[in-house]
Structure 1
């Protein structure tokens, strides 16, 4: 007799649905943190640029576009806006006179530092309200989730996963 795969599939679907709901809650928390950090909060796309530059300081627009999976013109406009906010600076590349390097300014670094601190505070408050057993299960679940994502990631997705914050 074969094993009925339906309960396993149902549990996977329930886990995916719960993960989606948790992500939505995190987005709400993240939005609150982003609004509290600056009078001119950045968009989600701009934030991805800041995270990328934080991990890959000194990259050029082409490389940034590849990391983000975005068109060069879109990446250039994002960087223009971030430069106008004082978060990003462009400097001549020491390797090629035709390229510009992108770097976070001290203002951009401070923005990310404060944003991450506010988000961590929000997470710590929620996690502190959990039972020790639930916290342990959360850590084990997130670790397993991260490992699964890393195993299934390819190309740029793997690069993004490699630059992601580790749970454990």
Structure 2
């Protein structure tokens, strides 16, 4: 029961933080952006493996992100047969603005909590992090995101 409520509250918070006046992206597209932010220059096959998605699905996601100007495909430095995926400056700006909005939304909620509730949240998040394990990060989540989110 606690788990379902926790997920519901996080979804509500992140949805609020995703309200950007231009070019909103789906959750799947956002995972691609986060992954490319962390692993710049990977190919479609590697991206698919990291996301646990079929190559055709990943290719379509990248097509849409490329059409939005968030991602570009460049010839690989290693293999002439492969393409590397890179975030554009527009894609990086979108992620930075999204993170800023989410940070602000989260801080607004935390600042509205009593000191006792905020401490309890911190203890609960420490337990959550421990249960998750230090090496089990969601695809597209950088170590800096872990620290900032906790």
TM-score (norm 2): 0.88
CA distance in 1, matches of 2:119, 2:31: 30
Task: Give the structure, 1 or 2, with the largest relative contact order (CA under 8 Å, sep 6 or more).
Answer: 2
Equivalent in the alignment of 2:142 = 163
Query: How far is the alpha carbon of 1:159 from its aligned partner?
Result: 5.4
Equivalent in the alignment of 2:110 = 127
Q: Would you say 1:27 and 2:6 are equivalent positions?
A: no
CA distance in 1, matches of 2:13, 2:132: 23
Q: Would you say 1:18 and 2:2 are equivalent positions?
A: yes
Given the alignment, which residue of 40, 52, 60 partners 1:69? 52
Equivalent in the alignment of 2:32 = 49
* 1:61 and 1:72 in contact (8 A); partners too: yes
Query: How far is the alpha carbon of 1:166 from its aligned partner?
Result: 2.3
Query: How far is the alpha carbon of 1:139 from its aligned partner?
Result: 1.3
Give SS of 1:103's match. Answer: strand
CA distance in 2, matches of 1:90, 1:38: 26
CA distance in 1, matches of 2:53, 2:45: 9
Given the alignment, which residue of 82, 87, 106 partners 2:89? 106
Per-residue Cα deviation, 1:136-163 (whole angstroms, up to 9, x for no partner): 2211211221111117x7xxxx353773
Query: How far is the alpha carbon of 1:107 from its aligned partner?
Result: 0.4
In the superposition, relative to structure 1, how do residues 24 and 148 fare at CA in structure 2: closer, same or farther (>3 Å)?
same
More helix by share: 1
Matches within 5 A, 1:81-160: 81-150=64-133, 158=136, 160=138
* 2:16 and 2:105 in contact (8 A); partners too: no
Aligned residues: 146
Moved over 2 A (4+): 158-168
* Larger of the two Rg values belongs to structure: 1
Unpaired runs of 5+ in structure 1?
1-16
Unpaired runs of 5+ in structure 2?
none
